[in-house]
Amino acid sequence: MGNGMPDRNNSANEHVWVEERLSAYIDDQLNPLERAQLERHLRDCARCQASLASLRWTVSLVKQAPAPALPRQFTLPLPAATPSTRRAPAFGVGLARLATVVATLLLFAVVTVDLLTRLGGGFAASAPAPAALRAVEPTSVALAPSSADETKRATPTASPERLLAVPPAPIAPTLTSPEVTGGGSAASETPSPKFATQNAVGTRTVQRTQPVSPRASATPTVTIAANAPSAALAGTATQTPEARATATPPTVVEARVQPTAAPLPSRPEVATSPLAVSPLRVAEIGLFFFMVFFGALTVMLWRRR
């Protein structure tokens, strides 16, 4: 038989054939021919009818079975942050890096300029008249035999033998002690703080016994160290407007002996206070902090990526 229907003469085989198709029959999955033959068999077979009923009962029970409760949500966990919000934008890192490089290059350039200025400008500032400096150097040594550490701790009470004079620029005449008289002994013998003009580095002592010549006033190293024990030296100093200069300018005590002395033309105080903040120094500091800031920012942004 084309549809596989067993021979009706073989009742056992027919029951098996029907039993195998009852499930599909319930679900209406049999073709019309099979369905007709199965229904024909069911009309005459109480056993297969009971089997069909029990099968329907089973399916009905299964469909009535309660559904288990969902124990939890099964959504997949999202990342802590989406890549677009977690990662720093590429252009941000690039800008920070560019700013770091620019700041570094500028810092390098400024430091280079500063160094060149100090080297060249050091000569220029401390010795606008190099010949004068060279001429004074031996005297300076003689005047200040222990210049190195003594000048470091120089105070307004500095002893006369430590008098040093290295003003790169002429000091504006400020009369601090009208009673001081010439010879340089007053300033050196009674070194009083009130005679001292103290800057951040030290004090500078200047004893002026005679009007300074215009040339001397134009020269940064005009000041003279007057030393009481060495009158000759003091005399030499006062006679030489070119004055004496030492390599260590920290201690300067001004003692103007002539209140009526002609005022010297004022000059920038660049060299008179070595720690004075110059524009280059400001630029160096600023660029340094810029470089550090943008460098740290670059690293931070890079890590966030």
Partner 1 sequence: MDEKAFIFAAQKGDLAAFNQLVRAYQTLVYRTAYRVLGEGASAEDATQDAFISAYKHIREYRGGSFKAWLLRIVTNACYDQLRVKQRRPSASLDAMLIDPDNPAPGADRAAPESPQEFAERQELGETIQRGLATLPPDQRVTLVLADIDGFSYDEVAAATGANVGTVKSRLSRARSALRDFLMTQEELLPSRYRLNNG
Q: Tell me which residues touch partner 1 (CB under 8 A).
A: 19-24, 27, 29, 53-55, 57-76, 78-79
Report, in Å, the least distance between residue 70 CB and partner 1. 5
Specify the residue, 10 or 54, whose C-beta has the smaller distance to partner 1. 54
Taking the least distance from each CB to partner 1, the nearer of 9 and 85 is: 85
Min dist. Cβ of residue 16 to partner 1 (A)? 11
Cβ closest to partner 1, residue 21 vs residue 162: 21
CB of 18 to partner 1, least distance (A): 11
Q: How far apart are CA 286 and CA 61, in angstroms?
A: 84
Based on CB atoms, which residue is closest to partner 1, 79 or 279?
A: 79
Q: How far is the CB of 21 from partner 1 (least distance, A)?
A: 8
32 vs 145, beta carbon nearer partner 1: 32
- CA gap 50, 38 in Å, rounded: 14
Give the nearest distance from C-beta 64 to partner 1 in angstroms.
5
Task: Say how far residue 51 (Cα) sits from the centre of its chain.
Answer: 88
Q: At what angle do helices 32-44 and 46-64 cross, to 10 degrees?
A: 110
Sign of CA dihedral 268, 271, 277, 283: positive
Half-sphere exposure of 43 (CA within 13 A, CB side): 5
**Phi, psi (5° rounding) for residue 303?**
-65, -35
**How far is C-alpha 196 from the chain's CA centre?**
40
